[in-house]
Amino acid sequence: MNGNEESAQVQKLRKLLDALPAPSVNVDLGRVYAETGRRRSLQVRRWRRAVVACAALAATVLLAMVLKLHLRFDANGVTLAWADPPTSKTEPVPPVNERVLVQNVAPPVTLEDMQLVKDLVRALAGRVDTLDARQRRAAMVLETRLAVLAADVERSHAADRETANTWRTRLEKGERR
């Protein structure tokens, strides 16, 4: 196939392609403007939501920072600290040997301490005596009450016996008649 023939074929093909029609379209400008407005308002709403979300996030972060940030006024100056500021200077930790010594050595006992202990013992003894006397008195009261009750019971028994004897005598008399 030579160049001319090929060119002629392409021309024919192009002619065939031109057979394809296109529909007639009339763009509705009113709809175009309305749709554009709707999309713009949607975009604005989306932006507004994003701004609100960002502001909320920023406020949260700021609040967290403020709550953790400490401002302290001392006589020496102002301390600005992130997280809780130290309340006092920490004492240096003594070496292990020193700590063992501190634990083993007992504190010295003074005469005042001894006197205090004696007073305590005496006071405790006095308290025990008082309690003992009180309990003894209570026991005596109970004993007296028991004796009275026993006498009452005895008297009641005697009365019952007497009544029984009286009835027995009457019944015997009645039988004889």
Partner 1 sequence: MNASWDPPDAVLIRHWQQGHAAAFEALVRRWQQPTARFLTRLTGRPERVADLCQEVFVRLLTAGPRYREKGSFATWLYRIALNVARDAARRGRRDMVQLRQDAPDAREESAPIVCEHRELEQAVAVALDELPAPLREALVLRHYERLSFEDMARLLNVPASTLKSRFTAALGRLRDALRPWDRNEREAHP
Footprint of partner 1 (CB under 8 A): 9-10, 12-14, 16-17, 19-29, 31-33, 35-36, 39-40
3-state secondary structure of 122: helix
E strands, the chain, where? 69-73, 78-82
Residue 83 beta carbon to partner 1: minimum distance, rounded to whole angstroms: 49
Helix ranges (H only) for the chain are 3-17, 29-68, 96-104, 111-176
- Cα-Cα-Cα-Cα dihedral sign, residues 78, 79, 85, 90: negative
Residue 23 beta carbon to partner 1: minimum distance, rounded to whole angstroms: 5
Residue 4 beta carbon to partner 1: minimum distance, rounded to whole angstroms: 16
Q: Which is nearer to partner 1, 12 or 68 (CB)?
A: 12
Q: Which is nearer to partner 1, 9 or 115 (CB)?
A: 9
Q: Which is nearer to partner 1, 27 or 83 (CB)?
A: 27
Q: Beta strands 78-82 and 69-73: pairing type?
A: antiparallel
Dihedral pair phi/psi, residue 102, rounded to 5°: -60, -35
In whole angstroms, what separates CA 103 from the centre of its chain? 37
**Tally of residues, the chain:** 177
Residue 37 beta carbon to partner 1: minimum distance, rounded to whole angstroms: 10
Q: Which is nearer to partner 1, 18 or 84 (CB)?
A: 18
